[in-house]
Structure 1
Amino acid sequence: MYSADDVRNMAKDENVKYLRMTFTDVLGALKNIEIPISSLDAALNNQIKIDGSSIEGFLPIEHSDMLLYPDPDSWEIYPWIDDDNKTAAMICDVHNQDGSEFPGDPRTVLKDELAKMNDKGIAQLNIGAEPEFFLFKADEDGNPTMDVNDDAFYFDVEPKDKGVACRRAIVNTLNQMNIHCEADHHEAAAGQHEVDFKYADALKTADDVQMFKLVVKEIASRYGLAATFMPKPITGINGSGEHFNMSLFDKDGNNDFYDKDGKEQLSDLALNYLGGVLKHAKAITAIANPTINSYKRLVPGYEAPTYIAWGTANRTPLVRVPSGRGIATRLELRSGDPSCNAYLAIAAALAAGLDGIDNKIAAPDPVDRNIYDMTADERKAAGITQLPGSLTEALDDLEADKVIVDGIGDYACKKFVAAKRHENEIYRTNVSPWEHSYYFDC
């Protein structure tokens, strides 16, 4: 853990010239304000201001001043900026002008939900993230083309995997920034890649996901490529997901999800947490799959889960319990995609799990069949329902679910839903090239 004095010493020892105070808006976009290192003391004393009226989901123009409270432990130097302009960053919580917590700050939302968990005697939520992304060729001006950079497949090697050098540079950069990766590989679709994070405290993982997106885009541009976290950038092939592996630990470092004598060696607490996640899955979907494009990925036939169920080796349900047990026991929520706000998505899943624990919600029996091969009657008999089929449907489910609304907070929820309803209205009234090709000759 770094202290404010540690940050001062590191800034001096490393001859840092600039500091980026980073934060996240309600939709998940990373933002920052850059200051000269001479203003470091002001930053560490929470004196750096921003205009909240310019940030999605923050404040109206008549009450717009806000303060950034940096987390010293998040201090990192950006490895890709040369020494003459050496730049460090700290991730910040956003506060109101009077110093009170701002309820629309996604990082604060997650911290508050984690505090509720601590109040129940649970010490830590660990998250291992598995974000996917596409690499497209860029033109001479650095703008993305619609050509992916290779035609490789799952786990292919170079030279077929033409993204390996870029992906390795991404991982090396992340490791320099104290973001620990367990594995990286080519994914199932042409031009698609995945980097798997080593599990860590939920807040650090959410912070790391934000930095990861920045690093991927920055490094890709240096290889003449353009990276995208769009869930479904190409018709007819797999889209990009972001799985979250979840586990609860006690204060002694024991995994609360493990019970060698339990069903699938899961504890009652794990099964109740799972029951809560499944019960609230439709509302979680609005947060974990927050774009119109997300629902073009959540369709049968492209590996993304569409049915609310769970299993072990089976990869067709919404939640999977991977093979590791003991300290590695975890629940893998497989529906999310990398367009989501990681802070809000993790908070929503945690809220659902805690509701399951509080109310002892029983998880149904696991499903060991390919759900896509089951008939509608068979799914109905097994109690298997479907995720929302559109952003509008998911937002309706979110607004109707008090547990998830409370989990991300009424303020953040209203701002999020309003922004997404507006986005959907723009899409609804926009005339697309597809419509021209189908209807122009009517």
Structure 2
Amino acid sequence: MTMSDTINTVVTPDNVHEVLKDDVTVKVAIVDIDGILRGKLMHKEKFLGAVNSGYGFTAGLFGIDMQDSYYTVPVEFSGKDYPFFDLIAKVDLSSYRRIPWEEDTPFFFAQLIHSQTNEPLYCCPRTFLQSAVDTCEQDLQATAHCGVEFEFICFKESAESLDEKGYANRKPITVGHHCYSLIRPTKNQEFCYNAFKWLHKFRVDVESWHTELGPGVFEAAIKYADAKEAGDRCTLFKTSMKQIAMHHGIMASFMAKPYQEFPGCSGHIHMSLMDKQGKNMFYPFDPSDASTVHPQMSKTFVHFLAGVLHGLPSIMAILAPTVNSYKRYIPNFWAPISVSWGVENRAAGARVIVPPTTSPNSTRFELRVPGADINPHLAIGAVLKCGLWGIKSAQELPVSALEEGGKHGQPLARSLQESVVAMDAESSVARQVLGNTFVDHFVKTRKHEWNTWQNAVTDYELKRYMELI
């Protein structure tokens, strides 16, 4: 099967045997709560037998953290009396692609069904995003489109080398600053060009790739797509970059703030809505639809953006999901620290992009708050759900545009603990929009993350206190 055939193939239960006729193995994966792929390599015959019925997948993976430790805050899927039954993993044939750096092994996503209730698993990230996509299509007859720009840092390291030196003295693949350099990528040309080509073959197209501020820092813009596909592409991009980097003796990290002295790594989300005719609902093609806020923003756009901004403080735990995430939010250091928006304003939490900077059909906003450490399915889903709530409830913008004399609104949380409190509040927008069942589970996983940090003794403490106190 040629690359072109693979990219364009639509897999169905009727043709899946033919598509896989020359294969022996198939790779399948689910997405966990931290956005990490968890999966296995299956014999083709076992996979084909599971296409219609699904296969067992342990629920225990939603009772452990990214380091496979049980949550210190009790969740449904862990505990001394938990039976660790299987969930049902249902193969998503539409997610078919082949992994170029793994001998073109076929790959599929699966989504999880709770085997005891026969309902989609409420904390499965792909299910979470799918529910937002379904609401958009059913309530607005519209499709959400999305793209994410990821910054990440590449080191001349491996997991073993970093472990041996206690994660200190990390060696980046390039030194110093040089944004948009045409010289630095040449030093690592094989890595950069193989990544571009292999990702294209893997149906995870990158629109652009360039060096960013800091040693070994790159930024990649994932090609705009419908929200469901964007979630898949962005999650696959992060794992793929790690694997491709390893093939070239490099470690790629999406940690939000690896260096105290440099800006952190962002995960900016661009989003728009398209109607059934493919027309952008954020642009007022009909002058009567123009908002009073800005002549090139539709009323729908204003309500959507208002929903996102009102919901922002209570979904920060999703947009900044780790303890380290909050080290990015430093004044005048390229990460927004408040509920704010502006037209072509990169100091704002949400940057509105309208003509003449772009075409009417590419009108959109860029949410500049998220870090590169997001779980893409959850982050895209949460932003979309808040925006749809904003339309449904006709929300108004909480602050005016920065460049029009507007002031910064509510400060954003400066710690994971603060963001968890905001999400967990009984009256939070997150509870209204994301649902209590999901919020209760997710809050517990983040409380665990904070507890783990609270118990850690850091190098900072040793250097500051050991001799002098």
Aligned length: 427
Distance change >3 Å, CA 149–CA 384, structure 1 → 2: same
Deviation at 1:264, TM superposition (A): 4.7
| The one of 13, 30, 36 aligned to 2:37 | 30
| Equivalent residue in structure 1 for 2:229, among 204, 212, 218 | 204
1:94 to 88, 94, 112: 112
Aligned partners of 1:139 and 1:212: how far apart in 2? 19
Query: Which structure 1 residue ranges, 5 or more long, are not aligned?
Result: 370-377
Q: Deviations over 1:101-154 (max 9, x none)?
A: 111211111111222222212320000111111001116956576111112421
* % identity of equivalent residues: 27
Per-residue deviation, residues 37-59 of structure 1 (Å, max 9, x unmatched): 12132221133111112334773
Unaligned runs of 5+ in 2: 1-9, 65-74
Distance 1:142 1:78, change over 3 A: farther
Shift of 1:383: 5.5
Moved more, 62-71 or 133-142: 133-142
Structure 1 contact 278–308 (Cα < 8 Å) conserved:
yes
Quick check: 1:287–1:345 contact (8 Å CA) kept in 2?
yes
1:105–1:412 CA contact under 8 A, matched in 2: no
Query: How far 1:171 sits from its partner (Å)?
Result: 1.8
Q: How far apart, in 2, do the equivalents of 1:76 and 1:8 lie?
A: 15
Provide the residue aligned with 1:52 in structure 2: 59
2:67 aligns with none
Shift of 1:285: 1.3
Which residue of structure 1 aligns with residue 363 of structure 2? 329
Could you tell me whether the CA contact under 8 Å between 2:205 and 2:223 is conserved in 1?
A: yes
Residues in 2 aligned to 1:161 and 1:360: alpha-carbon distance in whole angstroms: 50
CA contact (8 A) 2:320 2:373 kept: yes
Equivalent positions of 1:219-258 (< 5 A) are 219-258=244-283
Question: 2:67 aligned with 1:43, yes or no?
Answer: no
Aligned partners of 1:426 and 1:135: how far apart in 2? 26
Query: Which among 344, 353, 357 is matched to residue 391 of structure 2?
Result: 357
Which residue of structure 2 aligns with residue 392 of structure 1?
417
Q: Distance in 2 between matches of 1:403 and 1:69?
A: 31
Q: 2:462 aligns with which of 430, 436, 439?
A: 436
TM-score (norm 1): 0.91
Paired residue type of 1:147: K
Q: Does 1:116 align with 2:135?
A: yes
Q: Secondary structure at the match of 1:74?
A: strand
Conservation of the 8 A alpha-carbon contact between 1:7 and 1:75: no
| 2:102 corresponds to | 81
Q: Is 397-406 or 234-243 further displaced after alignment? A: 397-406
**Which whole-Å CA distance do the structure 1 matches of 2:362 and 2:174 have between them?**
34
Distance 1:27 1:160 in 2: 30
Whether the 8 Å contact between 1:26 and 1:415 is mirrored in structure 2 is no
- Cα distance in structure 2, aligned partners of 1:54 and 1:93: 14
Give the corresponding residue for 1:17. 24
Say whether the 8 Å CA contact 1:310–1:320 is kept in structure 2.
Answer: yes
Residues 154-212 of structure 1: CA distance to partner in whole angstroms, max 9, x if unpaired?
Answer: 10122476445423222211100112221111111211111111210101111111111
SS, match of residue 307 in structure 1: coil
SS in 2 for 1:62: coil
Change (3 A) 1:142 1:81: farther
Q: Provide closer, same or farther for how the CA distance between residues 161 and 388 of structure 1 changes in structure 2, counting only shifts above 3 A.
A: farther
TM superposition shift of 1:411? 2.8
User: d(CA) in 1 for partners of 2:160 and 2:105?
Assistant: 25
Provide the C-alpha distance between the structure 2 equivalents of 1:150 and 1:21, rounded to a whole number of angstroms.
35
Residue equivalent to 2:68:
none
| 1:16 Cα offset (Å) | 1.9
* Alpha-carbon spacing, 1:279–1:177, altered in 2? closer, same or farther (3 Å): same
CA positional deviation for 1:405: 2.8
* Comparing 138-147 and 420-429, the one that deviates more: 138-147
Distance 1:140 1:426 in 2: 21
- CA contact under 8 A between 1:26 and 1:412: conserved in structure 2? no
The 3-state SS of whatever aligns with 2:442 is helix
**Contact in 1 for aligned 2:351/2:366 (Cα 8 Å):** yes
Change (3 A) 1:256 1:237: same
Match of 1:2 among 11, 28, 52: 11
Aligned AA for 1:358?
K
Question: What is the match of residue 150 of structure 1?
Answer: 174
User: Which of 198, 206, 211 does residue 173 from structure 1 map onto?
Assistant: 198
Which moved further from structure 2: 144-153 or 46-55?
Answer: 144-153
Query: What is the aligned partner in structure 2 of residue 296 from structure 1?
Result: 327
Change (3 A) 1:161 1:290: farther
The 3 A distance-change label for structure 1 pair 159 and 27 is: closer
CA contact (8 A) 1:149 1:191 kept: yes
Quote the Cα distance in structure 2 between the aligned partners of 1:140 and 1:348.
32
Q: Which range moves more in the overlay, 360-369 or 204-213?
A: 360-369
SS at match of 1:332: strand
Query: Aligned letter for 1:75?
Result: Y
User: Which residue of structure 2 lines up, in the alignment, with residue 104 of structure 1?
Assistant: 123
Worse overlay, 47-56 or 233-242: 47-56
Q: SS of the counterpart of 2:326?
A: helix
Whole-Å separation in 2 of the counterparts to 1:209 and 1:139: 23
CA contact (8 A) 1:26 1:58 kept: no
Rounded Cα–Cα distance in structure 2 between residues aligned with 1:222 and 1:73: 28
Equivalence for 1:374: none
Cα distance in 2 between the residues matched to 1:253 and 1:54: 39
Amino acid at match of 1:273: F
In the alignment, is residue 275 of structure 1 matched against residue 301 of structure 2? no
- Please list every run of at least 4 consecutive aligned residues from structure 1 whose deviation after the TM superposition is greater than 4 angstroms: 139-145
Secondary structure, counterpart of 2:251 in structure 1: strand
Matched, 1:311 2:342: yes
Q: What displacement does 1:304 show?
A: 1.0
Cα separation, 1, equivalents of 2:19 and 2:161: 34
